[in-house]
Amino acid sequence: MTYFDQDLTSLHADLVAKKISATELAKATFANMAQVDPQLGAFLNLNEDQALKQAALLDQNGIDANNLFAGIPLAVKDNIVTKDLTTTAASKMLENFVPVYDATVVDKLLASNALIVGKTNMDEFAMGGSTETSAFHVTRNPWDISRVPGGSSGGSAVAVASGQVPVALGSDTGGSIRQPSSFNGIVGMKPTYGRVSRWGLIAFGSSLDQIGPMTRTVKDNAAALNMIAGNDVHDTTSSKREVPDFTAGLTGDIKGMKIGLPKEYMGEGIDPKVRAVIEQAVKQFEDLGATVEEVSLPNSRYGVAAYYIIASSEASSNLQRFDGIRYGFRADDVKNLEDVYVRSRSEGFGDEVKRRIMLGTFSLSAGYYDAYFHKAGQVRTMIINDFNKVFEDYDLIMGPVAPTPAFKLGDEVSDPITMYMNDVLTIPVNLAGLPGMSVPAGFADGMPVGVQLIGKAFDESTLYKAGYAFEQATQVYKQTPEVGGAN
Amino acid sequence: MAEERINAEQVQHVAGLAKLEFTPEQLATFTPQLEKIIGMFEELSAVDTTGVAVTSRMSDHTNSLREDVAVKSDEKLRQALLDNAPETANGLIKVPAIIDESGDGE
């Protein structure tokens, strides 16, 4: 079976009414994955035995009618640790790494009796925008298999977009949930920094990383965020703020909502066909009774430079732990400790990861710290202030997610700067710690294009409310790709 | 080129700090790439940041303290941890000699 004609509500109803058992659902899910995924490559590692065991137990004990996720198969990005299930972050460095604990989000999934069907492909250590830096294999876009799925959460996006699972978890440091969601025509939420625990997320940029849900519909996404959100004693940066019911405001009524459209997000460098989709979305929001006005985020143009300094610096520090000693790859024939470090890291990391470690180490090194790392931290403050100013007068900000639709495999992976510029519209949100969501808005040259909605800190509710109204009015999400002979 | 931002020698120095090594061929690819990216970083020098505070963390609270309580581990967890180590001996993680006693100065 595919999940094209079902959402969490209808699946749950079928499970509760025993139209289908959890075991039947899980088996059908794996059967479909076996048919569809060889062509797409969304998954790195499957969890079939364990998932079927869990499903059998659920069938024995009965599906809880009040638990939307009971028996629901879902996918988890491979930089989120899963106990006893190999977790690689798509790196040769962690090819044989078996975590000894579950990430907090995984704990929550399992406590909700959801089934983890497998771990999804990604750019190595989440560094990249096309999933092509994975040490293991490429992932293909189900709308056109000659194109990238985006990244770094490309496997999770494809798993959902191709109907293999209804929900997948991704992580977003500079756009890694939103950009692949846009490229694949699904809904992806990067929550406010601190909304979701990062405990068990293999760290990349610790002041930027957030885990978030990727789904076909806004309502499913809101329900999934409710499941994974909340304070966690294991992550001091997770917020103690109350987590509201994100599905509560999904009425379709957004009359009077005030939306800002940054002129910097609609200018040069944006593919005219993408711009046309966003202009159409503006009209749609106006038809729904919202007002959309041009605003300015003048410092967003410096976001890419500031981000690549900050994220690379944090990464160079975080990735020091991969030293070939306690876990991970160790080079052969090493003769002393220095050799273990240098050769294990040089052979275990791929080129993009090395580039980031080098950029970060350089930005933090004596003589360069002030001009790069310190300066980037100041520009970050200015970018935050730009957002705060707009949010004095507006409920949310809208714009494109990425400057183009999904590009061809192999086109950009050898040119780091071009690849980095793809993140120009998503990065400012991470630098400011704000929630951002991609919602399917239309197509350019047959490829999906998402609209990005950006909210005030901890106001995911307004994004879901607006996203839901837009989705119900446009019904873009009902268009699905033709995959693997399923049609 | 008006001003060299980073040369192969500096890249080697940074690689040393980062515990990475590059072959001459890799260096020939990496150096111009890093040079270009650092050139992009220099866009920031155009921004007047006089008196602007640095943002270095995003959390909305500063610290959480808890009692320092020892939690007993078990043999199963210990074994799972050791199973991830590249080399073990007698229930310990094995590494090459830290002190070089060969006398050849390497």
A437-470 pLDDT, tens digit each = 999 999 999 999 999 999 999 999 999 999 999 9
Select the residue of B15, B81, B95 nearest A325 (Cβ to Cβ): B95
Q: State residue A275's pLDDT score.
A: 97
Cα–Cα distance measured from residue A358 to residue B10, given in angstroms and rounded to the nearest whole number: 11
Cis ω for the linkage preceding A181 (within 30 of 0): no
Q: Which residues of B touch A338 (CB under 8 A)?
A: 19
User: Which of A74, A75, A63, A161 has its CA nearest to residue A121?
Assistant: A75
Select the residue of B21, B30, B93 nearest A325 (Cβ to Cβ): B93
Select the residue of A329, A358, A377 nearest B55 (Cβ to Cβ): A377
Q: What is the pLDDT of residues A402-431, one digit of tens each?
A: 999 999 999 987 888 888 989 999 999 999
Cα–Cα distance measured from residue A121 to residue B71, given in angstroms and rounded to the nearest whole number: 35
Interface membership of A366 toward B (CB under 8 Å): no
Residues within 8 A of B (CB atoms), A 300-319 only: 302, 304-306, 308-309, 316
Give yes or no for a contact between A184 and A448, defined as CB atoms under 8 angstroms apart: yes
Q: State residue B97's pLDDT score.
A: 79
Give yes or no for a contact between A48 and A32, defined as CB atoms under 8 angstroms apart: no
Alpha-carbon torsion angle A89, A93, A99, A105, nearest 10: -20
Find all residues with CB under 8 Å of B92, minimum gap 6, and list them.
Answer: none
Angle between helices B24-41 and B8-17 (to 10 degrees): 90
Find all residues with CB under 8 Å of A20, minimum gap 6, and list them.
Answer: A14, A28
Residue A428's identity, in one-letter code, is P
Q: DSSP labels for A255-278? A: TT-EEEEEGGGSSTTS-HHHHHHH
Cα–Cα distance measured from residue A398 to residue A257, given in angstroms and rounded to the nearest whole number: 12
Threshold 0.90, pTM exceeds: yes
The CATH number of whichever domain residue A394 belongs to comes to: 3.90.1300.10
CB pairs under 8 A between A and B: 167
Contact B96 A237 (CB under 8 A): no
Q: What is the DSSP letter of B105?
A: -
Q: Which residues of A touch B60 (CB under 8 A)?
A: 194, 239, 241, 457
- Strands A447-455, A396-400: pairing is antiparallel
The CB-side HSE value for A303 (13 A sphere, CA atoms) comes to 29
Partners of A438 in the beta sheet? A188, A452
Q: State residue B104's pLDDT score.
A: 56
User: Which of A209, A190, A188 has its CA nearest to residue A198?
Assistant: A209
What is the interface pTM, i.e. ipTM, of the complex? 0.91
Q: Report whether pLDDT(A318) > 70.
A: yes
Q: What is the pLDDT of residues A218-274, one digit of tens each?
A: 999 999 999 999 999 999 999 999 999 999 999 999 999 999 999 999 988 899 999
Interface membership of A365 toward B (CB under 8 Å): yes
Domain count, chain A: 1
Q: What is the pLDDT of residues B18-65, one digit of tens each?
A: 999 999 999 999 999 999 999 999 999 999 999 999 998 887 667 778
